[in-house]
Amino acid sequence: MLLSEMKVVAPGSLTEALRWLEEHQDRARPLAGATDAMVRVKEGQWRSPIWVEIRRLPELQRMDQADGWVTVGAAVTYGRLLRSELMAQTAPLLAAAARDVGSVQIQAMGTLGGNLGTASPAGDTIPPLFALEAEVGLCSRGGGERWVPVESFFLGPGRTVRRPDELITAVRFAPQAPGERWKWQKLGLRGAQAISMVSLALRLQPGFARVAFGAVGPTVLRARKCEAWLSQAEAFDLATVRSIAQMAWKEVAPISDVRASAAYRQQMACALLERGLREVLAV
């Protein structure tokens, strides 16, 4: 498909955008920053005849904290995320991942909703959202709004529970605790502008641990055995940290592809976890 063959409509409100999706179902697709869409359309992978531009919809721009939730609208760009004082205070893990996405240009255009919509296991905001146990807001004209735990949102590479008549409106999560230890790490083939070969979002508080890996399975995944051992450990020395990090070997399920072999990814998952733990625990 040529880019010039794409029909792009620009509704002025969420209601109008949802009407386009409801009326055209599988023939229509949301378009946000277009950083994934332009590439996939050019390569002939995405062939929707109608694209519903949602990037400027005011209803998808929110970033606020109320009633125990931090809520980030689907059309919020990486640039806004990483410059936000609210994010720095309540979700520094997510802000750190946003800082590692692409280039300044991609950060200016790419959106949180687009990262979720593409549903790549290497999407960089997704491990932090798993570690934050975020929920994804989906809205349709007929069904109103529903909130889905981020772990249930993804079905596999490029596949989610979003129906064709639904838009992702926002994500919401409880804020990170003040003083919580956390670490975001991304390993790519280059230092910048690289798709993750392995990524890790780590959160640690006394009796609480969240470990989420990207690019080592069909979707982002939580290393629950590592989390359980980290939550139960009473003291951390180097031997304990190493043995818990090694458990990640069996928790991930990577494939080999152009970027790395499955075995290398497994090794790197353990290495990133060990490095992250040593840094946050100073062991």
Ligand X SMILES: Cc1cc2nc3c(=O)[nH]c(=O)nc-3n(C[C@H](O)[C@H](O)[C@H](O)COP(=O)(O)OP(=O)(O)OC[C@H]3O[C@@H](n4cnc5c(N)ncnc54)[C@H](O)[C@@H]3O)c2cc1C
Using rule CB under 6 A, residue 128 touches ligand X: no
Shortest spacing between CB 239 and ligand X, in angstroms: 35
Pairing of strands 28-31, 50-53: parallel
One of 28, 29, 94, 131 touching ligand X (CB under 6 A): 29
Closest CA to 68 of 132, 5, 3, 116: 132
One of 115, 176, 185, 266 touching ligand X (CB under 6 A): 115
Return the range that interacts with ligand X (CB under 6 A); candidates 88-96, 118-126, 175-183, 217-225. Answer: 118-126
Closest CA to 48 of 19, 8, 18: 8
One of 84, 90, 93, 110 touching ligand X (CB under 6 A): 110
Return the range that interacts with ligand X (CB under 6 A); candidates 31-39, 87-95, 140-148, 222-230. Answer: 31-39
Amino acid at residue number 4:
S
Q: Which is nearer to ligand X, 59 or 180 (CB)?
A: 59
One of 6, 18, 28, 32 touching ligand X (CB under 6 A): 32
Sheet hosting strand 50-53, strand order edge to edge:
7-9, 50-53, 28-31
One of 6, 18, 37, 247 touching ligand X (CB under 6 A): 37
Any residues with CB less than 8 A from the CB of 199 and at least 6 apart, and which?
Answer: 97, 122, 124, 127, 184, 185, 186, 187, 213, 214, 215, 272
Return the range that interacts with ligand X (CB under 6 A); candidates 30-38, 232-240, 246-254, 274-282. Answer: 30-38
Shortest spacing between CB 186 and ligand X, in angstroms: 8
Burial class (CB in 10 A: 0-12, 13-18, 19+), 239: exposed
Q: Which is nearer to ligand X, 194 or 262 (CB)?
A: 194
Using rule CB under 6 A, residue 165 touches ligand X: no
Answer whether 248's CB lies under 8 Å from 211's CB.
yes
Answer whether 141's CB lies under 8 Å from 18's CB.
yes
Closest CA to 89 of 67, 110, 64: 64
One of 113, 121, 128, 276 touching ligand X (CB under 6 A): 113
| Cα–Cα dist 243/39, whole Å | 41
Using rule CB under 6 A, residue 141 touches ligand X: no
Using rule CB under 6 A, residue 106 touches ligand X: yes
Paired tokens of 112: 């949180």
Using rule CB under 6 A, residue 219 touches ligand X: no
What does the binding site for ligand X look like in residue numbers (CB under 6 A)? 29-37, 39, 54, 74, 101-102, 106, 109-111, 113-115, 117-118, 123-124, 162, 167-168, 193, 195
